Amino acid sequence: MNRREFIYSVGMSGMSIPFLNAAPAVALAPGSKAKSVINIFLSGGLSQYDSFNVEVDKDVLGKSAILKSNVDGIRVSNYFPTLAKQMDKLLVINAMQTNQGAHPAGIYKMLTSYNPRSSVTHPELGAWINKSLTRDQDSLP
């Protein structure tokens, strides 16, 4: 890992910092709004065929097994048995794309919604979520 990759990975891990102070999960009353977001971004991680886009074709599936979730038509792999029981509370986005050919540029686009430019840096998803969840705080603590 070179210095640039190290700095990039440290910056990416900082995206989860706003959630460290998040309130504990509680059951929401009907019609209430969510107060936190969990973004699972697996850069170079688990294949979609072994997670939430499980294929029925055994040649593609690999070593995973298919579990039916509590939502009709949504299948997950056997790596997520607890999530399979709670899929009605989750949103899985399976259809994302970018016009960027390189992975780092595509990751930047997915996390900031901007194409990378060498002279400008943009706030990432964690910063936007933190700002939207703390609207009433206009000053420093």
Gap between the Cα atoms of 72 and 99, Å rounded: 32
Q: Where are the domains of the chain?
A: 39-95, 100-134
**Amino acid 108: pLDDT:** 82
What's the confidence (pLDDT) of residue 21?
47
pLDDT at residue 4, rounded to an integer: 66
Tell me the CA distances in angstroms from 48 to 44, 105, 128, 136, one per residue in order. Answer: 11, 20, 26, 38
Nearest Cα neighbor of 21 from 112, 137, 133, 136 is: 133
> Residue 38: exposed, middle, or buried by beta-carbon count in 10 A (0-12, 13-18, 19+)?
exposed
Return the structure tokens found at 60: 């593609």
Q: What is the CA radius of gyration of the chain?
A: 18
**pLDDT tens, position by position, for the chain (141 residues)?**
666 666 666 555 555 454 444 445 445 567 767 677 777 777 776 776 677 766 667 676 667 788 888 988 888 888 889 988 998 888 877 676 777 778 788 888 877 878 888 777 787 777 777 777 766 655 554
Distance, CA of 20 to CA of 4 (rounded, Å): 26
